[in-house]
Amino acid sequence: MARASSPRRMILTTLAAWGVALLIFFPVLWMILTSFKTEASAVANPPELLSASWTLENYAEVWARSDYPRFFWNSVVISIGSTLLGLAVAIPAAWAMAFVPGKRTKDLLMWMLSTKMMPAVAVMIPIYLLFQRLGLFDTKTGLILALMLMNLPIITWMLYTYFKEIPGEILEAARMDGAGLRSEILYVLTPMALPGIASTLLLNVILAWNEAFWTITLTTTKAAPLSAFIASFSAPQGLFYAKLSAASTMAIAPILILGWFSQKQLVRGLTFGAVK
């Protein structure tokens, strides 16, 4: 609903919008700034900004103390793996629900969402035991499975809402041309749904990347992602504000950068069928 407005109003709204945006962003900014300060400077009173002593030492120390590349790689594999697997399961389901709806489709969707309402801590021990017995504990496969199942309801629902927006007539036309089910999905639906699939993918990579309960509970070393990396830094000894900030920045930087580069796609896609 972009509308023309007077230059004065534009300056005012610009100022207000930037003020609010900087306020929201400030904690992240402050964390990044703190990560480049010396420990003494990080806790100085009054807080130092221009007068602070800057250093890269925190990053060097965090890097030396832990195997960051491995945590990072695990995060990448787990979040992308669980998302791809989730898409593979959810795309057919969402397609069927959107184009061959039955009486119970809506109930089914709501039931899927409701499975997510069970607090993770409530089933922690059962899942832990299951994973151990099945040999899935501390494996990337196990975490990919767990996170895929955790996010499956959201993936399915998002895809469903995108598919719903594709006009049925196009499918009819394709069917008249004699396209089979497979080619209907491959050549007609998928290209139309691609933006929706892309933003579903992005959102789920973010959700999986930021998941910090199962990833810590179900791993020790081999499959531990960046959330576990942060857990090992949450209370080191002595002054730790700058080192904690550096480790935190390292943990969120990859996903923050991905998010920023893809924000147009994400913004366009994050509707959950909220737009008619």
Partner 1 sequence: MSTHSTRLAARLMVAPSVILLFVWMIVPLAMTLYYSFRFYRLLTPDRTRWTSFDNYTWFLNSPDFWLAIFNTLALVGGVLVITVVLGTLIALLIDQPVKGQGVLRILVIAPFFVMPPVAASIWENLFMHPQNGLFAAFARGFGAQPILFLENYPMLSVIGIVSWEWLPFATLILLTALQSLSSEQLEAAEMDGAGAVSRFRHIILPHLTRAITVVILIQTIFLLGIFGEIFTTTQGGPGSASTTLPYMIFKQAIAAKDIGRAAAGGIIAVILANIVAYFLMRGIGKNLDA
Partner 2 sequence: MTVSLRALMGATALLALSGAAMAETTITVATVNNGDMIRMQGLMDDFYAKNPDIKVEWVTLEENVLRQNVTTDIATGGGQYDVLTIGTYEVPIWGKQGWLVSLNDLPAEYDVDDLLPAIRGGLTVDGNLMASPFYGESSMVMYRTDLMEAAGLTMPDAPTWADIETAAKAMTNTETGVYGVCLRGKAGWGENMAFLTAMSNSFGARWFDEAWMPQFDQPEWKATLDFYLNLMNNYGPPGASNNGFNENLTLFQQGKCGMWIDATVAASFVTGKDSTVADKVGFALAPDNGLGKRGNWLWAWSLAIPASSQKQDAAKAFINWATNKDYLALVASKEGWANVPPGTRSSLYANEEYAKVPFAKMTLDSINSADPNAPTVKPVPYVGVQFVAIPEFQGLGTTVGEIFSAALAGQKTADEALAEAQTAVTDEMKASGYIQ
Is 230 a residue that touches partner 1 (CB under 8 A)? Answer: yes
Is 49 a residue that touches partner 1 (CB under 8 A)? Answer: no
Q: Least distance in Å: CB of 201 to partner 1?
A: 15
Is 128 a residue that touches partner 2 (CB under 8 A)? Answer: yes
Look at residue 194 and give the partner it binds from partner 1, partner 2, none, a contact being a CB closer than 5 to 8 Å depending on partner kind: none
Identify whether the C-beta of residue 250 lies closer than 8 Å to the C-beta of residue 62: yes
Q: Least distance in Å: CB of 132 to partner 2?
A: 5
CA-to-CA separations, 36 to 152, 167, 206, in angstroms, rounded: 39, 52, 26
CA 264/CA 146 separation, integer angstroms: 29
Among 196, 226, 243, 246, binds partner 1 (CB under 8 A): 226
Q: Retrieve residue 254's tokens.
A: 């990859």
With respect to partner 2, which residue has the nearer C-beta, 203 or 218? 218
Is 15 a residue that touches partner 2 (CB under 8 A)? Answer: no
Q: Retrieve residue 212's tokens.
A: 């910090």
Q: Least distance in Å: CB of 175 to partner 2?
A: 31
Is 3 a residue that touches partner 1 (CB under 8 A)? Answer: yes
CA-to-CA separations, 178 to 171, 183, 193, in angstroms, rounded: 11, 10, 21
Burial of 134 (0-12, 13-18, 19+ CB in 10 A): exposed
Q: Least distance in Å: CB of 67 to partner 1?
A: 19
Residue 125 has a CB neighbour count (10 Å cut-off) of 10
User: Scanning residues 231 to 260, which ones bind partner 2 (CB under 8 A)?
Assistant: 231-240
CA 195/CA 193 separation, integer angstroms: 6
Amino acid type, 92:
P
Is 228 a residue that touches partner 2 (CB under 8 A)? Answer: yes
Is 40 a residue that touches partner 2 (CB under 8 A)? Answer: yes
User: Scanning residues 160 to 199, which ones bind partner 2 (CB under 8 A)?
Assistant: none
With respect to partner 2, which residue has the nearer C-beta, 94 or 247? 247
The torsion of the CA quartet 118, 119, 123, 124, rounded to 10 degrees, works out to 150
The torsion of the CA quartet 159, 162, 168, 173, rounded to 10 degrees, works out to -80
Look at residue 236 and give the partner it binds from partner 1, partner 2, none, a contact being a CB closer than 5 to 8 Å depending on partner kind: partner 2
Residues at the site binding partner 2, with contacts judged by CB under 8 A:
39-40, 43, 45, 64-66, 76-77, 80, 84, 125, 128-129, 132, 137-138, 216-217, 220-222, 224, 228, 231-240
